[in-house]
Amino acid sequence: MATIPAGAPNGAGAADHADVIIKPGYDENLVNPDLAPLRKQTWGAYNIFAFWMSDVHSVGGYVTAGSLFSLGLVSWQVLLALLIGIVIVQVFCNLVAKPSQVSGTPYPVICRASFGVKGANIPAIIRGLIAVAWYGIQTYLASSALMIVALRFYPELAPYADVTKHGFVGLSTLGWASFMLLWVLQALVFWRGMEAIRVFIDWAGPAVYVVMIALAVYLVARAGLDNVSLTLGEVKYTGWAAVPVMINAIALVVSYFSGPMLNFGDFSRYGQSFAAVKRGNFWGLPVNFLGFSILTVVTTSCTLPVFGHMITDPVETVSRLDSTFAVVLGAFTFMTATIGINIVANFVSPAFDFSNVAPKTISWRMGGMIAAVGSIFITPWNLYNNPAVIHYTLDVLGAFIGPLFGILIADFYAVKKQTVIVDDLYVMGPTGAYWYENGYNMAAVTAVVPSALVPVLCAVVPGLEGLANFTWFIGCGLGYVTYSLLMKRQPRLVTQAV
C-alpha cells in the first residue's frame, strides 16, 4: 500500500500540516493535507454565524427573499413560511454538520463512509459541477455591481457596456473586464487558504447589514412610514387557498439553501464543538435570515414611491441614489457580499470535491482553480439571462442534491448509528470498513439513480410542474428510504465511535 509519511510537506491551503493528522497507514490516493482529519478545530459559533451571513447576504439572496413577498400572500403568511422553511434548513444543517465535525473531515471524505472510498467521487463530482455553474453566475452578478460603479465615474465607458457594439459571446467589453477583475479578486482570497476565508466572511456579512440598514432608513425617510409595506403586490390568496402557496414558499427557501446545506461539512469540520456549530446555525439561519428578509422587503417596498416603480435588484436600487458616495458604497458592499457567498458556497466545495478525485495530484487550491476556470467557459451571463434555464437549473439542482443529502443522513444516523471509523476513510483495500465492493458501495450508487430520476421527471415532464419546487424533498426522501432498505441486505460493519 502506498502511504504518505507523517512529515510530508504541505503544499495545500485548506489546513496547515501541523493542524491535520496523516497516519502512516493512510493511502496516498485518498489523502493529502487538505483532506486529512483535523487535529485542531478552532471555529466558534460566531464563525459559523458569519458563514451563514455571507451565504444569505447576496444579490441572489435579496432577490429570492423579495420574490417570496410577491407571491400574493399577506405579510404574516410570508413570514411564517420563511420561518418554517429556514427552521427546516437549520435542522438539516445540524444533521449534516455532525459527521464532519466529530470526524474533522470535509464532505467528500465523509461520503466515503456511505459510497465507499472510491465511490465517494460520484457525489463529489456532482456537487463540484453544480458549484462551478453557480460560481460563474454569482461572479457575473457581482461584476454587474462593479459596472455600476465604473459607469458612475466614467460615463464615457457606456458604449463599451453595450454588448451590441463591443461584446463577445453575449457579454460586453466592460462586462468582461468587470467579470475577470472579480474573478481574480475571488481567486486571491481563496488562494490564501481557509483562514483567510474565515477572516473575510467574519466581516463581510456584518458589513452588508450596516449598509442594508442605512439604505432602508434612507428610503423610508424619503418614502414616508405610511408607504412602508411588508406585502409586495396584490394579495391574491386568502384563507385555505393561501396554504399551497405557503408550502411552495417553504420549499423554495429549502431549495435555495440546498447546495451549501449539502457540503456544510466542509465548514462544520472546523467547529470547536458540535454545540458551537448548532449555536452558529441558530443565529445564522432563523434569526439572520428573517432579519435580512424584513430589511429586504422594507427596502423594496420603498422603491415604488421613491423611484416610481418597484425595484427588486439591490444593485439597481443603489445605482438610483443621488449621492455618488452612497452608490459606490452600496455597490461595493453588495459586490463584497456576493463574493462572500461565492467563496463559501461555490469555491470551497469544488476545491475539496475535485481534490478528492485525485488527492495525490490535485490540491485544494488546484481543485478550486479548476472550478474557477470552468466557470468562465460556461458563459454564466447567458445562463442567468435565460429565466427558463435558471428555472430548470434550480429544479435539477434539487433533484441531484436531495438524494445525496438523504443518503449521507441515512448512512450516519440510521445505518451506522452515528459512528465513523475515521482511519478507514483513508484505507484503500479490503481491510478498510469502507472498501465494500472494490471501493464502491453499490447500495449508495444504486440508490442515487431512482432518487434523482424521479425528481428530474417532476421538473421537466409536462403536467408535473406543480411538483417542481419539491424536487429536493422528493430526492432526499427517496435517497434516505432507498439507501436504508438496500443497506439492510449488507452485512453489518464492525464500527467504533470516533
Q: Which of 98, 19, 70, 66 lies closest to 316, judged by CA?
A: 66
Rg (CA), the chain: 23
> Which own/partner contact pairs does 272-279 have at CB distance under 8 Å and 24+ positions apart?
272/41, 272/42, 272/43, 272/44, 273/41, 273/101, 274/97, 274/98, 274/101, 274/102, 276/43, 276/44, 276/45, 276/48, 277/45, 277/48, 277/94, 277/97, 277/101, 278/94, 278/97, 279/45, 279/48, 279/49
Q: If you search the block for the grid coordinates 474557477, which residue do you land on?
A: 372
Q: Topology of 42-386 in CATH?
A: Hydantoin permease (1.10.4160)
What is the residue-level pLDDT of the chain in tens, covering all 498 positions? 333 333 333 344 666 566 899 999 999 999 999 999 999 999 999 999 999 988 887 777 777 888 888 888 888 888 999 999 999 999 999 999 999 999 999 999 999 999 999 999 999 998 888 888 888 888 888 888 888 888 888 999 999 999 888 888 899 999 999 999 999 988 888 888 888 888 888 888 788 888 888 989 999 999 888 888 888 777 788 888 899 999 999 998 998 898 899 999 999 999 999 999 999 999 999 999 999 999 888 988 898 899 888 888 787 888 888 888 888 888 888 778 778 878 887 888 899 999 999 999 999 999 989 999 999 998 888 877 766 666 666 566 668 899 999 999 999 999 999 999 999 999 999 999 999 999 999 999 999 999 999 988 887 787 877 787 888 999 999 999 999 999 998 765 544 445
In this structure, the strands spanning 171-172 and 167-168 are antiparallel
